[in-house]
């Protein structure tokens, strides 16, 4: 596959030479949350054909952004993981997510896929460090077959796929309810009151949860929008 280039001696252009092709940044997004098997990537990236996925992964390997690894026991299967250069793209992906929450998100479209596991990065994008000062708690989210958790430690957050060893709070919900929570169409209190979600664990940590993640105010793109002075 021919690799297109902007042929500009510019850091932005050079970066886009590496990650600007379609699907490439979404592959980075998937690998930012840990190593993934080829089949895992196919499952998360509906619409990306097998041949193009293989080509994109070879490109990431060739450019030093990803590498092949073997998952530890009991899996012991081949997977892909980011190199340090690939992992350093996390702030870029999170900044794109924050911009999208402000300027690109509206009602979900019928043909759009939604995976609750994408929240592993989404929680980081919406995290409010000031609201977490003095808090040490582990929140586990169980959304049908997907499980992930967030470890909050005095203004910092770590989010991980899989269950927590000793969660302080466990939130359980359906996929649809979680999507509505993630898009602010449903508050956690409303979800708990209606039975769309359930929660167990430390009550104080649960009360703090409501304030830890803040979605930016959605804005409408238009030619009349004024730019910041």
pLDDT, tens digit (0-9, with 9 covering 90-100), for 106-155: 888 888 888 888 999 999 999 999 999 999 999 999 999 999 999 999 99
Contact 109, 183 (CB under 8 A): no
In a domain, 1, yes or no: no
In a domain, 97, yes or no: no
In a domain, 226, yes or no: no
Q: Is residue 34 classed as helix, strand or coil in its secondary structure?
A: coil
Total domains in the fold of the chain:
2
CA 104 from centroid of its chain's CA atoms: 16
Residue 107: what pLDDT?
A: 82
User: What range defines the domain where residue 173 resides?
Assistant: 116-212
In a domain, 220, yes or no: no
Distance CA 64, CA 84 (A): 9
Distance CA 60, CA 144 (A): 32
pLDDT, tens digit (0-9, with 9 covering 90-100), for 171-222: 999 999 999 888 888 889 999 999 999 999 999 999 999 899 988 888 899 8
Per-residue pLDDT for 1 more than 50?
A: no
In a domain, 219, yes or no: no
pLDDT, tens digit (0-9, with 9 covering 90-100), for 55-83: 999 999 999 999 999 998 887 899 999 99
In terms of domains, do 133 and 198 share one?
Answer: yes
**CATH code assigned at 154:** 3.30.1050.10
In terms of domains, do 156 and 201 share one?
Answer: yes
Contacts of 192 (CB under 8 A, 6+ apart): 198, 199
In terms of domains, do 138 and 70 share one?
Answer: no
């Amino acid at each position: 596959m021919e690799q297109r280039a902007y042929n500009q001696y510019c850091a932005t252009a050079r970066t886009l030479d590496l990650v600007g092709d379609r699907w490439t940044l979404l592959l980075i997004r998937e690998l930012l949350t840990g190593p993934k098997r080829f089949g895992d990537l196919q499952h998360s990236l509906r619409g990306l054909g097998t041949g193009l996925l293989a080509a994109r992964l070879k490109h990431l390997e060739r450019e030093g952004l990803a590498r092949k690894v073997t998952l530890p026991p009991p899996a012991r299967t081949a997977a892909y993981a980011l190199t340090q250069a690939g992992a350093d793209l996390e702030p870029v992906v999170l900044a794109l997510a924050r911009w999208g929450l402000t300027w690109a998100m509206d009602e979900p479209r019928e043909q759009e896929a939604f995976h609750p596991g994408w929240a592993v990065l989404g929680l980081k994008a919406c995290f409010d460090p000031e609201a977490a000062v003095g808090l040490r708690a582990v929140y586990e989210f169980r959304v049908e077959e997907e499980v992930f958790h967030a470890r909050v430690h005095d203004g910092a957050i770590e989010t991980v796929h899989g269950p927590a060893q000793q969660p302080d709070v466990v939130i359980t919900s359906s996929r649809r309810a979680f999507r509505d929570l993630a898009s602010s169409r449903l508050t956690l209190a409303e979800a708990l009151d209606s039975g769309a979600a359930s929660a167990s664990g430390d009550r104080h940590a649960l009360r703090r949860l409501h304030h830890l993640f803040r979605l930016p105010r959605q804005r409408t793109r238009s030619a009349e929008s004024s730019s910041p002075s």
